[in-house]
Chain A
Amino acid sequence: MLKLTDINRRLGDFALKDINLEVSDGQYYVLLGRSGAGKTQLLELIAGLEHPDKGTIILDNEDITTRRIQDRKVGIVFQDYAVFPHMTVFGNIAYPLKARKEDRKSIVEKVENAASAMNIKHILERNTEKLSGGELQRVALARTLITSPRLLLLDEPLSSLDASLKDDMKRLLRNLNKAGQTIIHVTHDYNDAISLAKRVGVIHNGRIIQEGSVDEVFKNPSNRFVARYAGIRNFFRVDISLEKGILSGVTRNNVRFKLENKNTGSECLLIIKSDSIILSKEMPEDKELNIIKGKISEIIPSEFGVEITLDAGDLFYVNLHTSVFEKLKFVEEEEVWMSFPSGSIVALNGTS
Chain B
Amino acid sequence: MLLSSLVLLFILAPLAGMFIHTGGAQFLETVKDKEVHQSVWLTLWVSFAATLFFAAGAIPLAWLLARKKFPMKNVVQGIIDLPVVLPHTAAGIALLGFISRDGFLGKAASSVGLNLVNHPSGIALAMAFVSVPFLINAAKDGFAAVPERLEKAALNLGASQSKVFFTISLPLAWRSITTGFVMMFARGMSEFGAVVIVAYHPMIAPVLIYERFSSYGLNYARPASVFFILVALLFFIALRLISSKRKVKHINIDAETD
Is there an interface contact between A82 and B150, defined as CB atoms closer than 8 Å? yes
- Give the interface size class of chain A: 20 to 34
Quick one: given A99-B160, A99-B163, A147-B158, are A87 and B255 in contact (CB under 8 Å)? yes
Is there an interface contact between B156 and A86, defined as CB atoms closer than 8 Å? no
A136 to chain B minimum Cβ distance, whole angstroms, is 12
Indicate if B24 sits at the interface (CB-CB under 8 A): no
Quick one: given A85-B172, A91-B258, A99-B163, are A143 and B157 in contact (CB under 8 Å)? yes
Q: Which of B160-177 contact A (CB under 8 A)?
A: 160-161, 163, 167-168, 171-172
Is there an interface contact between A95 and B159, defined as CB atoms closer than 8 Å? yes
Indicate if A47 sits at the interface (CB-CB under 8 A): yes
Indicate if A324 sits at the interface (CB-CB under 8 A): no
Q: Mark A80-92, 1 if CB is under 8 A from B, else 0.
A: 1010111110110
Give complex CA distance A300, B68 in Å.
56
Give complex CA distance A84, B171 in Å.
11
CB < 8 Å neighbour of B157 from A86, A90, A144: A144
Is there an interface contact between A96 and B159, defined as CB atoms closer than 8 Å? yes
Q: Mark A30-74, 1 if CB is under 8 A from B, else 0.
A: 000000000000000001110000000000000000001110011
Chain A residues in 8 Å Cβ range of B152: 49, 69, 82
Give complex CA distance A69, B258 in Å.
22
The number of residues on chain B lying at the interface, defined by a beta carbon within 8 Å of a beta carbon of chain A, is 24
Indicate if A75 sits at the interface (CB-CB under 8 A): yes
Is there an interface contact between B255 and A96, defined as CB atoms closer than 8 Å? no
B122 to chain A minimum Cβ distance, whole angstroms, is 39
CB < 8 Å neighbour of B158 from A49, A76, A82, A99: A99
Chain B residues in 8 Å Cβ range of A329: none
Indicate if B32 sits at the interface (CB-CB under 8 A): no
Chain A residues in 8 Å Cβ range of B49: none
Is there an interface contact between B154 and A80, defined as CB atoms closer than 8 Å? no
Is there an interface contact between A70 and B171, defined as CB atoms closer than 8 Å? no
B255 to chain A minimum Cβ distance, whole angstroms, is 4
CB < 8 Å neighbour of A86 from B161, B172, B256: B172
Q: Mark A104-131, 1 if CB is under 8 A from B, else 0.
A: 0000000000000000000000010000
Name the residue on B nearest A70 (C-beta).
B155
Name the residue on B nearest A71 (C-beta).
B158
Name the residue on B nearest A88 (C-beta).
B255
Name the residue on B nearest A73 (C-beta).
B158
Looking at B149, B155, B171, B250, the one whose CB has the most chain A CB atoms below 10 A away is: B155
Q: Mark B107-124, 1 if CB is under 8 A from A, else 0.
A: 000000000000000000
Give complex CA distance A37, B250 in Å.
41
Is there an interface contact between B156 and A98, defined as CB atoms closer than 8 Å? no
Is there an interface contact between A69 and B172, defined as CB atoms closer than 8 Å? no
Is there an interface contact between A95 and B157, defined as CB atoms closer than 8 Å? yes
Is there an interface contact between B172 and A70, defined as CB atoms closer than 8 Å? no
Is there an interface contact between B149 and A70, defined as CB atoms closer than 8 Å? no
Chain A residues in 8 Å Cβ range of B160: 70, 99
Is there an interface contact between A78 and B153, defined as CB atoms closer than 8 Å? yes
CB < 8 Å neighbour of A91 from B147, B153, B163, B255: B255
Give complex CA distance A75, B158 in Å.
9
Indicate if B251 sits at the interface (CB-CB under 8 A): yes
Quick one: given A69-B152, A87-B255, are A99 and B147 in contact (CB under 8 Å)? no
Is there an interface contact between B157 and A87, defined as CB atoms closer than 8 Å? no
Quick one: given A69-B152, A99-B163, are A91 and B254 in contact (CB under 8 Å)? yes
Give complex CA distance A70, B167 in Å.
15
Indicate if A100 sits at the interface (CB-CB under 8 A): yes
Chain A residues in 8 Å Cβ range of B149: 78, 80, 82
**Extra contacts besides A75-B157, A87-B251 (6): CB < 8 Å:** A86-B172, A86-B255, A90-B255, A95-B157, A99-B160, A147-B157
9 tightest A-B CB contacts, nearest first: A82-B153, A99-B159, A88-B255, A96-B157, A69-B155, A91-B255, A70-B155, A82-B149, A86-B171
